[in-house]
Amino acid sequence: MTYEEKLNNVSVLGAAGKMGSGILLLTAIEMTDIRLKSAKAPGSMILNAIDVSSAALSELHLYLRNQIRKIAEKKIVLLRGLYSGNKDLIENTEIIEYYIEDVISHIMLSTRTESSYQSTIIFEAIIEDSEIKIDLFRKILKNNNNDPWFFTNTSSVPISELDRGAELNGKIIGFHFYNPPAVQKLVELIATDKTDIMLVEFARQLAGNLSKKIVPANDFPGFIGNGHFIRDLLFGISMAERLSEKFKLPASIYAVNRISHDFLIRPMGIFQLMDYVGIDVCMKILQVMRSRLKDDQLHSNLIDKLISAGIKGGQNPDGSQKPGIFIYEKGRPTSVFDCDLLKYLPLESFRNDIDKKIGNPPPSWKPWKEVVNNRQNHVFLKHYFSELKGSDTPGSKLAVEYHLNSKRIGLELVESGVADNIGNVNTVLLTGFYHVYGPVNDYLD
3-state SS of 255-268 is HHHHHHHHHCCCCC
Type of residue numbered 56:
A
Name the H helices within 195-243: 197-209, 225-243
Q: To which H or E segment does residue 394 belong?
A: helix 394-415
CA distance 256 to 385: 18
Query: Is the Cα dihedral 399, 404, 407, 409 positive or negative?
Result: negative
CA distance 191 to 175: 9
CA distance 256 to 228: 17
R_g (Cα) of the chain, nearest Å: 23
pLDDT one-digit tens code per residue, 388-436: 999 999 999 999 999 999 999 999 999 999 999 999 999 999 999 999 9
Q: In this structure, what are the phi and psi dihedrals at residue 123, rounded to the nearest 5 degrees?
A: -95, 135
Contact 190, 219 (CB under 8 A): yes
Three-state DSSP at 195 gives coil
Contact 14, 126 (CB under 8 A): yes
pLDDT of residue 412: 98
DSSP labels for 46-100? EEEEE-S-HHHHHTHHHHHHHHHHHHHHHTHHHHHHHTTT-TT--SHHHHHHHHH
CA distance 233 to 53: 31
Query: Is the Cα dihedral 263, 268, 271, 273 positive or negative?
Result: negative
pLDDT of residue 394: 97
pLDDT of residue 196: 97
Beta-carbon neighbour count of residue 406 at 10 Å? 26
CA distance 7 to 48: 12
Q: Give Cα separations from 197 to 46, 177, 430 (angstroms).
A: 25, 20, 28
CA distance 187 to 122: 17
Three-state DSSP at 269 gives coil
Q: Give the closest residue to 416 by CA, choosing from 164, 280, 252, 223.
A: 223
Q: In which residue ranges of the chain is CATH 3.40.50.720 found? A: 3-216
pLDDT of residue 240: 98
Q: In which residue ranges of the chain is CATH 1.10.1040.10 found? A: 225-432
Q: Give the closest residue to 48 by CA, choosing from 172, 144, 179, 158.
A: 144
Q: For the chain, give me the number of helices (H) and strands (E)?
A: 19, 11
Q: What angle do CA 239, 243, 249 make, to 5 degrees?
A: 100
Specify the CATH number of the domain 225-432: 1.10.1040.10
Contact 20, 177 (CB under 8 A): no
Fold of 3-216: Rossmann fold (3.40.50)
pLDDT one-digit tens code per residue, 228-254: 999 999 999 999 999 999 999 999 999
CA distance 232 to 366: 23
CA distance 400 to 377: 19
Mean pLDDT in order along the chain per 10 residues (445 residues): 94 96 97 89 88 92 94 95 90 95 96 97 96 98 97 98 98 96 96 97 98 98 98 98 96 98 98 97 97 96 98 87 96 96 97 97 96 88 97 98 98 98 98 97 94
pLDDT of residue 317: 74
* Terminal CA-CA length for the chain: 52
Q: Give Cα separations from 239 to 244, 254, 398 (angstroms).
A: 9, 11, 9
CA distance 257 to 42: 51
278: left (phi over 0), alpha (psi -120 to 50) or beta: left
pTM (predicted TM-score): 0.95
pLDDT of residue 250: 98
What's the CA dihedral at 150, 155, 161, 163 to 10 degrees? 10
Q: To which H or E segment does residue 383 belong?
A: helix 377-390
- Residues 6 or more apart whose CB falls under 8 angstroms from that of 320 comprise 328, 331
Beta-carbon neighbour count of residue 5 at 10 Å? 10
Beta strands in 198-352 (DSSP E): 213-216, 326-329, 332-338, 343-346
pLDDT of residue 302: 98
- Give strand pairing partners of 343: 338
Q: Give Cα separations from 407 to 162, 260, 400 (angstroms).
A: 31, 14, 11
pLDDT one-digit tens code per residue, 321-355: 999 999 999 989 999 999 999 999 999 999 999 99
